[in-house]
Structure 1
Amino acid sequence: MKIGAKTDGSSLSWRSELAVENQDFSFVYPGEADIKRQAYRVHYPGLAIHIQGHEGSYAVLDLSPAGLAFRDERQSFTLGQNIRLDLFIRDRVCVQEIQAKIVRIRDAVKVACVFEDLTRQQERLLDKLTLEIQKRLIDQRKRKQQEGNVEKPNAT
């Protein structure tokens, strides 16, 4: 990591480095220019989306307040395509009418999209949902760690 003082007021180059600036100083992280994620992503069983104009539902692979990835076995989407979707947990709608844009397709079936023009209500719901999932995942990890650290009685 490079830490350098910025006295001339110029901005840092984003060519091959991610830079974080704050008035009198800057942090530069070499090799992290290709960071694509804007927010922490979570996976939770039972998350699915329904996309307008498409039949059935799609399993959500990961979710963040900024976007999501889903599995498309039918290979029915194209890069740059705009979609409108509803987000469900176990067949219960959580967030409706989300506008999104397809930004990546991997291995022909993993489709990533970013949310666009979210209403404040949609933003609030997505933030709350991802935070609640994060809390549950942390609680699950803690329980597993505690169960693993529990001493077993000696068999004598």
Structure 2
Amino acid sequence: MDILFESNSSRGAFRTSLPGLALRIDGRPESYSVKDFSVNGLAFAAGKESFAVDEQFKVDFVLGKKELLTGLEIKIVRDIGEGLMGCIYVDLDKYQEARLDKLVLEVQKRMILLRKKKGAS
């Protein structure tokens, strides 16, 4: 499993990606690929769909058939270009915050293990 590490202090949070992670938007039939995510927000590939800045949606994070996080509220804050939309989370409850923190931490742990394995070989 390839895990991308990006640390950008200007964004204020560790951003990472998880291959296969998708965003399911409430009321829309298809899923959207999550480019990267952090405890503060995410970027997703909108494809040919049109989204407007300031739109808000209820979403779920899914990996394959498994729902990792459900009922998150996101707000689109910018059109990054090339079909990517930048979002922030809106009014997460304590459970959602804890699950998001845990997901980011798990990806960080896997990234560290992969680095150690590469260094040992």
In 2, Cα distance between equivalents of 1:38 and 1:115: 14
Residue identity in the other structure for 2:14: Y
Gaps of 5+ in 1: 1-34, 148-156
In 2, Cα distance between equivalents of 1:84 and 1:107: 22
Deviation (angstroms), 1:108 = 4.1
In 2, Cα distance between equivalents of 1:78 and 1:36: 24
SS at match of 2:13: coil
Dislocated runs of 4+, deviation >3 Å: none
**RMSD of equivalent CA atoms:** 1.3
Q: How many residues align?
A: 113
- The answer on 1:143 being equivalent to 2:117 is yes
Aligned with 1:112 (options 82, 86, 91):
86
- The answer on 1:60 being equivalent to 2:60 is no
Q: Which residue of 2 aligns with 1:38?
A: 12
Deviation (angstroms), 1:39 = 1.1
- The answer on 1:93 being equivalent to 2:67 is yes
Taking structure 1 as the reference length, the TM-score comes to: 0.69
In 2, Cα distance between equivalents of 1:39 and 1:122: 17
Higher strand share: 2
SS at match of 2:92: coil
Deviation (angstroms), 1:66 = 1.1
SS at match of 2:23: strand
Residue identity in the other structure for 2:87: C
Query: Deviation per CA, 1:5-29, whole angstroms, max 9, x where unpaired?
Result: xxxxxxxxxxxxxxxxxxxxxxxxx
In 1, Cα distance between equivalents of 2:50 and 2:99: 28
In 2, Cα distance between equivalents of 1:61 and 1:103: 15
* Higher gyration radius (CA): 1
Q: Which residue of 1 aligns with 2:108?
A: 134
Residue identity in the other structure for 2:11: R
Gaps of 5+ in 2: 1-8
In 2, Cα distance between equivalents of 1:49 and 1:91: 12
Taking structure 2 as the reference length, the TM-score comes to: 0.87
Q: Which residue of 1 aligns with 2:25?
A: 51
In 2, Cα distance between equivalents of 1:110 and 1:36: 19
SS at match of 1:124: helix
